[in-house]
Amino acid sequence: MNYTLNQLQIFLKIVQTQSVTKAAEALHLTQPAVSIQLRNFQDQFDIPLTEVIGRKIYITDFGHEIAEAADQIISQVQAINYKTQAYKGKLSGKLKISIVSTGKYIMPFFLANFMKQHEGIELLMDVTNKSKVLESLKNNEVDFALVSIIPTTLEVEQLDLLQNKLYLVGSGDDAFDGETNTQKIFENRPMIYREQGSGTRQIMERFIKDNAISVFKTMELTSNEAVKQAVIAGLGYSIMPLIGIKNALRSNDLQIIPVDGLPITTNWSLIWLKGKKHSPVASAVLSHIQTEKEQIIQQKFQWYTQ
């Protein structure tokens, strides 16, 4: 057999995503390139690793065993690389962070310079909803989590990064008469929610409950980008974080609707389990963010803080 490390990585990603297309996207490769490498890899085995039924790819039992072995091989190769970097006196290893979906607009800026300074570090950043973020933190699967609402069910320590501001927004094409009575705003306009488990949805529901607002029509979408596009298209209104709609506001695709009780403000906070013993990589990035936080905010988020 003469398979390569690249083929092992591609096959493992196909198994993880259950899709050649998704594997190609995750690896930043073209779909034909991934298909060719998969075929070349499979040709080295007498037993099928995959089978295609209809247009869907399925992994055989033997394929799953090969994937497990591939995962172990790749982990060992990464360990060799980390040890090589450490021997040279360079910081190396994995940094695992789980962030809520709106966090993708801020977390990369707090990590960029650190990652440039330490090329031996592998960043694994999962962008998902609040429930899944807290689940990964609870299971100690990540070094840090980025949230906009501090959990009450976990004992955590925190580092506040940036204020989160949420406004009611509508399509830039809608004529708005300046009405600030919240109840009247929602009488004939559908409210577009994020899915259950989203921190933004939790904030919206709390605002509606605290202000005794009756929402007659609702929609539910599973990402902030989907909500934003639906609002731009005129399907309804939503309460959204300002950080993610900057360009849409500047292009007049969206407009902020001023109503009583808004904006809602929380904080994006980096949190970790209380008492957690950080790895050298996690300790280094935490120290970096603590030291550079104010400068990063001034350089990258001046428009937002003003």
Please tell me the distance from the alpha carbon of residue 278 to that of residue 262, in angstroms, as a whole number.
Answer: 38
Residue 306 has pLDDT above 80, yes or no: no
Say whether 164-265 and 93-162+267-305 share the same fold: yes
Closest among 153, 172, 120 to 271, alpha carbons compared: 153
pLDDT tens-digit map of 250-297:
999 999 988 888 899 999 999 999 999 998 889 999 999 999 999 999
The answer to whether 159 and 294 are in contact (CB under 8 A) is no
Out of 3.40.190.10, 2.120.10.70, 3.30.365.10, 3.40.50.410, select the CATH number for domain 93-162+267-305.
3.40.190.10
Beta-strand relationship, 191-194 and 218-221: parallel
Q: Could you name the CATH architecture of 5-87?
A: Orthogonal Bundle (1.10)
- Confidence bin at 41 (pLDDT 50/70/90): very high
Tokens of 263: 């904006």
Strand pairing class (144-147; 264-273): antiparallel
pLDDT higher than 70, residue 123: yes
- Residue-range domain boundaries for the chain: 5-87, 93-162+267-305, 164-265
pTM of the model: 0.69
Q: How far apart are CA 18 and CA 42, in angstroms?
A: 16
CATH number for the 164-265 domain, one of 2.30.30.90, 3.40.190.10, 3.40.50.10420, 3.40.960.10? 3.40.190.10
* Percent of the chain topping pLDDT 70: 93
Average pLDDT, the chain: 88
Task: Please list, in sequence order, all residues whose beta carbon lies within 8 angstroms of the beta carbon of residue 44, skipping any fewer than 6 positions away.
Answer: 1, 2, 3
Q: Which of 288, 180, 212 is nearest to 296 (CA)?
A: 288
